[in-house]
Amino acid sequence: MAKKTYTDKELMQMAIDVMNKSVNEPRPDGKVPPKVGAVLLFPDGRIETAYRGELREGDHAEFTLLERKFPNENLEGCTLFTTLEPCVERNPPKVPCCRRTTNARIKKVFVGIEDSDPTVDGKGIKHLENHGVEVKMFDREFQRIIEKENEAFLKQALERKRETEEEDLRTPIELPVTNYDSSKFSDIALEKFIKESSLDFKASDETFLEYLADFGAMEWNKEKKQFVPTGFGVLLFGKNPRAKFKNAVLKAHVTYGNQKIEPKDFADALVLLPDQIEEWLKKVLPLSKDTSGFKRKDVPDFPIEVLREAIVNALVHRDYEIEGAKCEIKIDENKVIVTSPGKPLPAISLDELNTFEAPSLSRNPIITYAFSLMDYVEEKGFGMKTFKSLNKEYGLPIPKYTFKEPFLTLTFPRTVEGVKETIGKETIDSLSSEELQNFEIFREKRPISKSDFVEFTGLATRTAERYLKEWTDKGLLIKVGSGPSTKYQMYE
């Protein structure tokens, strides 16, 4: 009998279903326990599950699964799905769940969401990765469900994190900035943040400064008896962020043929940049005629909302601690390139970025939170839906992520030549403009069936078959599977 196979999504959903069975023990200290579910996939396809408090009050789901249910079984080769980052500290002689996992020699773990509690706060994932475990995050659609079910726990965890955070464990950007006070903030930036976040404050209110301190943009200094901006606060709202952080700038370059537009630096407070960049894009992008309405009107020949989202993501998710590295946008006749310092976080792969299925994980949660309040980004998101729909919504080629130390680069091809440059294969040069347009579906980096290809292109079946054979022979595609279930995927 053939073993049962499950998709990653099915196992993520299974972990959530189990999570919802959690039995939360009563806590006299008022601390809200998390709901946690765990699923263990064995090499032979067998599935076992556990949830918090299943066998005994207060027992963690991973402990129940790995130690209570399978104390003597070899779990090497199993894959673990857990809805919450495994714990790092337990009172002796208890062993934390992250160590139980590595002790069991499990080499692949899917984690639902990060645990903001200061005893964990990313250290569980780091422990797994340091011990050779491949860590992947749940898809964003499942993360939202877990966050909603654990809303009270996550709120308390964030409060505990703020209360116990030690300065020597924080990066320079998280720390308060010496000799700075609220006068270093831009009134324009603060007013814009208040207005677009629909907050009921005035910039001069002491309660507003408390609000900024609540999410990490300021910190109370007991000696000075005043609120002091943190590095993140300076980046978000500072009058001159580059005075403190030299690399806090986005450099923009535009070249069309022999015409070179004057380079521009965007170096104001981060909350001011999205609108400034949008206005600049409207001025520098070539115009084309929009005839969709009764009146013809000039519109930019590339969707500004797509570029805006890409640039905002670069600003939000970049690594601000890499000295001398700056965000850039370069526009020419063939392509638009957005670069951002910092490699993808370990739990996010280039493949996940290029299939536009990257999970929720943020390098700069304080910046992300502020931008999400202003509706500039989905909290912790990457604009994946916007980029994925580029071909369907606008008839444009899909973009591609690449990484070359220390920059993550997102390239938007605009022309046939741009697509050829982006794909970067010699054999692609032989394809015509029409063929490249038909080839676009394979750049989503997922297996495509012949019927999917016919539906996408509108080609006759025999013509589609000819294309598939030619592209396979040229090494542009590889076959996945065989017989009627054969699919095709772009060769990397």
With 0-12 / 13-18 / 19 or more C-beta atoms within 10 angstroms meaning exposed / middle / buried, residue 112 is buried
Of 477 and 392, the structure prediction assigns the larger pLDDT to 477
Of 459 and 165, the structure prediction assigns the larger pLDDT to 459
Angle between helix 273-284 and 304-317 (nearest 10): 140
Averaged pLDDT score across all residues of the chain? 84
* Residue 287: pLDDT band with limits 50, 70, 90: low
* pLDDT at res. 418: 65
Bridge partners (DSSP) of residue 255 are: 260
Element (H, E) at 10: helix 8-19
The mean-pLDDT minimum among 245-254, 398-407, 434-443 falls in 434-443
Domain residue limits, the chain = 8-162, 168-243, 250-418, 427-490
* Residue 162: pLDDT band with limits 50, 70, 90: low
- Nearest in space to 410 (alpha carbons), one of 419, 422, 428, 393: 422
CATH of domain 427-490: 1.10.10.10
CATH of domain 8-162: 3.40.140.10
**174: Cβ–Cβ under 8 A, 6 or more apart, which residues?**
165, 216, 230, 231, 232, 366
pLDDT above 90 (res 239): yes
Q: For residue 303, how many C-alpha atoms fall within 13 Å in the half-sphere facing its CB?
A: 19
Query: So what's the architecture of 250-418 in CATH?
Result: 2-Layer Sandwich (3.30)
* pLDDT at res. 289: 45
Residues 248-286: tens digit of each pLDDT: 999 999 887 777 778 899 999 999 999 999 999 988 887
* pLDDT at res. 35: 92
* Residue 381: pLDDT band with limits 50, 70, 90: very low
* pLDDT at res. 224: 84
* Pair of tokens at residue 482: 């065989």
Greatest mean pLDDT among 116-130, 156-170, 336-350: 336-350
CA distance 129 to 132: 5
Q: For residue 146, how many C-alpha atoms fall within 13 Å in the half-sphere facing its CB?
A: 29
* Pair of tokens at residue 22: 């959690």
* pLDDT at res. 435: 82
Q: Contact, 310 vs 326, CB < 8 A?
A: no
CA distance 296 to 293: 7
Residues 288-323: tens digit of each pLDDT: 544 344 344 444 667 888 888 889 989 998 999 898
pLDDT above 60 (res 103): yes
Q: What percent of the chain has pLDDT over 90?
A: 35
Give the pTM.
0.59
pLDDT above 80 (res 386): no
* Pair of tokens at residue 424: 């970067």
Greatest mean pLDDT among 153-157, 228-232, 308-312: 228-232
DSSP line for 42-74: -TTS-EEEEETTSSSTT--HHHIIIIIS-TTS-
* pLDDT at res. 416: 54
Q: Contact, 270 vs 236, CB < 8 A?
A: yes
Of 438 and 91, the structure prediction assigns the larger pLDDT to 438
Q: Nearest 5°: phi and psi at 43? A: -55, -30
